[in-house]
Amino acid sequence: MSITVQDVTSCGNTLPITGVTASGNQKGYPPSNVLDNNLNTRWSSKGVGRFIRADLGSIQNICSIDIAWYKGNERVYNFAIATSTDGTTFTNVLTSSSSGTTLNSEKYIISSTNARYVRVTVNGNNVNNYAQITELDIFGPSAASLSSTHNYEPSLTLSGPSS
């Protein structure tokens, strides 16, 4: 295997999401509401550990997940992000909390990884145990980042045991 360090500041290539599913939702708040580019619509599900899962349609290189939270300017959500290539085996890539300061999307940078599925599991917020997301976007490295990654590869590639 090899790991290539890249410039995360150029993680700006929006990846099309072909579908989104969830562990469940409140009536009238389906998971598809996170894909409509409207901060006034949301996916909502009551309970700790509820998740929403986005499908990119094929394996892509991912470097950030952007999430806008319902009442994100006053509630701090606890969440974990995991990715998968096959939709069955998920690997946790980030455990964090939202800032509680904005209604707009917050950008969560992860180590560059190849995945088709991105799952966001919400473990409540500081007000209640609802998982509520208004928008979800997934980004890959931009062209500039791909170029610099290629240039740096010889000195920044770590080799592990071959399998």
Q: Which residue is closest to Ca ion by CB?
A: 41
CA angle 86, 89, 94 (to 5 degrees): 110
Q: Output 6 or 132, the one with its CB closest to Ca ion.
A: 132
41-80 residues in contact with Ca ion (CB under 5 A) are 41
6-45 residues in contact with Ca ion (CB under 5 A) are 33, 36, 38, 41
98-117 residues in contact with Ca ion (CB under 5 A) are none
Closest approach, Cβ 131 to Ca ion, in A, equals 14
Q: Output 8 or 71, the one with its CB closest to Ca ion.
A: 71
| DSSP state letters, the chain | -------GGG--EEEPP-EEEES---TT--GGGGGSS-TT--EEEESTTEEEEEEEEEEEEEEEEEEEETTTTT--EEEEEEEESSSSS-EEEEEEE--SS-SS-EEEEEEEEEEEEEEEEEEEESS-SEEEEEEEEEEE--HHHHHHHHHHHHHHPPP----
Total of chain residues touching Ca ion, rule CB under 5 A: 5
Closest approach, Cβ 31 to Ca ion, in A, equals 10
Stretch that binds Ca ion, among 44-52, 90-98, 117-125, 128-136 (CB under 5 A): 128-136
Q: Output 68 or 115, the one with its CB closest to Ca ion.
A: 68
- Residue of the chain from 134, 136, 137, 140 that contacts Ca ion (CB under 5 A): 134
Is 86 a binder of Ca ion (CB under 5 A)? no
Q: Give the separation between CA 64 and CA 93, rounded to whole angstroms.
A: 10
- List of residues contacting Ca ion (CB under 5 A): 33, 36, 38, 41, 134
